[in-house]
Amino acid sequence: MALIKDEIEGLISAAAEAAQAAGDLPQVAIPDVLVERPQRPEHGDYASSVPLRLARTASMPPLEIAKLIAGHVETGSTIESVTAVPPGFINIRLSPAWLAAQVDVIREVGAKFGNLDIGAGKKVQVEFVSANPVGPIHVGNGRGLALGDTIARVLDAAGFEVQREYLVNDAGTQTETFAKTLYARYQQLFGRDVEIPEGGYPGEYMIDIATEIKSEVGDSLLNPEGEDGPPEIHDLGVEKMMTIIKDDLAAIGVKYDNWFSERSLHADGTYEATMKLLRERGFVVEREGAVWFTSSALGDEKDNVLVRSTGQPTYFASDIAYHYDKFIVRGFDRVIDIWGADHQGHVPRMKAAVNALGVDPERLTITIYQLVSLKRGGEVVKLSKRAGQIVTLRELVDEVGPDAARYNFVARAADSHMDFDIDLAKKQSAENPVYYVQYAHARIAGILSQAGERFADYSGGDVALLTHEAELALIKKMLRLPELLEQVVDSLEPHQLPYYATELATSFHDFYERCRVLSDDEALSKARLKLVSAAKIVLTRVLDLMGMTAPERM
């Protein structure tokens, strides 16, 4: 849908050109016209600082430029007034009649309100979490899940062809250690006195998986004492761990479009093709018995090992092959990786690797999210007994619910550490933003349900009757959603959505307290019911973009 801010920017740009044509402004290049929403309502609905940026080249005072441009801005159905204010801003105020008419527009667009066509069908992959299948999803991963899935939802709404992908790390030292731990637990079930390996996984879930395997295959996977376990123990363990992980993801409402096996990179020749391309492009050298990627030639601080002296590929080598598959084999226009804080140092070399493959590194975006601390009563929550050294996401979701988990995980900027207050997330009061926002939706549903008893059909309501300042403020807040989605697409910072949801709920609660919806004035009641139903559409939309439910009652 078209954005009103784009229309206003076009009107100001046309006004500047008209001022030049009239001889009011000198014939100099006009900077790109951008408008923003002022922090203070008395400054209008939009403001532009283009006169300040034009002052030097035009050799004129910015306030004079602002007055000249303002005088050429066309007002009418959309814009009520245009004013020039010191030191050189152009302030725009929208027409109340136009604002009221947007209620019908929102109702007509319905569930697609806010959708954009920025993406124009470009293929974007969002890969997030991809936790190694060696244990349950933990709370820290939960933050990555909420970020990745919310970003994917926004990109989808903005017209991109989006794929959510989970990389299953079913190869490498961690899954090997997992398999050794699992085999030790499996042997213990048959009375063997064996210890889990150093660096193994002590959580009780390993015993559960071993018990499940025993019940299915009996002792058929037992090798003679002292020997390593069979390969089947690795594959069975990873398969069962992925089943647990998928159940945990479903509990928080995350569905992936594709599950990509790391092993497939070696099985289908992708890894060899990647190494061949790097060699051909001159980015591979051999020294100290190992194979190195010369990432320092592409701006990284140092070169990085691709193949160890043992002949074992590094995780980095597999990751390069994985991105070769993303960009060159599958042809994604853009790839967004959502990584935890422990991968911060991996970013420059991954960017260098993509560049070495002949792919514009700007097509790869890597978002790093910081750690999560769980707190209850001001104290840090202790570790999970079942999972060993982690607190599982499932434990948190079972306690606070998926909506509270998702809202809180996405409510802070990814690059800031977050404290997750369990007690607050469970409160059923306005103090809890999750409850506050969802209660607004439930209140709306209640009003519309009650209205059905008196006004079975309010579709003929005249929105021109919506003139109260609280009504207009609510409409303005609703119209903010498409612009917000554009900002999230540009910044990949979805924490703006929870803030907006809270502001929208506040605007609705304020309207409800100041404007009686159901009254003896039938015409006004019908108009306000249309406004309430439009508010429900927008609030449902923003909740859905965050992967949350919109309750009809609470």
| Domain residue ranges in the chain | 4-94, 99-118+429-545
Cα–Cα distance list, 231 to 235, 245, 313 (Å): 7, 21, 19
> Could you tell me which residues are beta bridge partners of residue 292?
285, 305
Cα–Cα distance list, 102 to 41, 181, 531 (Å): 19, 61, 9
Closest C-alpha to 475, from 519, 508, 513, 524: 508
Measured distance CA(363)–CA(156) in Å, rounded: 17
Please report, to the nearest 10 degrees, the dihedral formed by the alpha carbons of residues 245, 246, 250, 252 taken in order.
Answer: 30
How many Å separate Cα 551 from the centre of its chain? 22
pLDDT tens column, 1-18: 678 999 999 999 999 999
Measured distance CA(63)–CA(81) in Å, rounded: 17
The per-type count for the chain, helices as H runs and strands as E runs, is 20, 15
- Indicate the residue type of 445: A
Q: Where are the beta strands (DSSP E) in 255-407?
A: 258-261, 284-287, 290-293, 304-307, 334-340, 364-369, 372-376, 379-380
Question: Phi and psi (nearest 5°) for 126?
Answer: -115, 110
Lookup: tokens for 138: 């933990």
Measured distance CA(387)–CA(136) in Å, rounded: 7
Mean pLDDT, consecutive 10-residue stretches, the chain (554 aa), reads 88 96 95 92 93 95 97 91 96 97 98 96 97 93 96 98 97 92 98 95 95 97 95 96 96 96 96 97 94 91 93 94 98 97 92 97 97 91 74 94 97 95 95 97 96 86 98 98 97 97 98 96 97 98 98 94
pLDDT reported for residue 1: 62
pLDDT reported for residue 77: 85
Closest C-alpha to 205, from 228, 185, 229: 185
Element (H, E) at 457: none
Owner of token pair 């021109």: 464
Measured distance CA(50)–CA(47) in Å, rounded: 9
3-state DSSP assignment of residue 532: helix
Instruction: Note whether 4-94 and 99-118+429-545 share their fold.
Output: no
pLDDT reported for residue 324: 98
SS (H, E, C) 410-454: HCCCCCCCEEEEHHHHHCCCCCCHHHHHHHHHHHHHHHHHHHCCC
Residue 200 · residue 185 · CB < 8 Å: no
Residues whose CB falls within 8 Å of the CB of residue 7, separated by 6 or more in sequence, listed in order? 78
Lookup: tokens for 282: 């001159």
CB neighbours of residue 484 within 10 Å: 17
3-state DSSP assignment of residue 202: coil
pLDDT tens column, 58-68: 999 999 999 99
Measured distance CA(234)–CA(168) in Å, rounded: 13
Residues whose CB falls within 8 Å of the CB of residue 201, separated by 6 or more in sequence, listed in order? 134, 135, 177, 178, 181, 388
Strand order in the sheet with 161-168: 258-261, 161-168, 123-128, 334-340, 364-369
CB neighbours of residue 447 within 10 Å: 19
Q: Which CATH number fits domain 4-94: 3.40.50.1100, 3.10.180.10, 3.40.1190.20, 3.30.1360.70?
A: 3.30.1360.70
- The CATH class that applies to domain 99-118+429-545 reads mainly alpha
Measured distance CA(293)–CA(303) in Å, rounded: 6
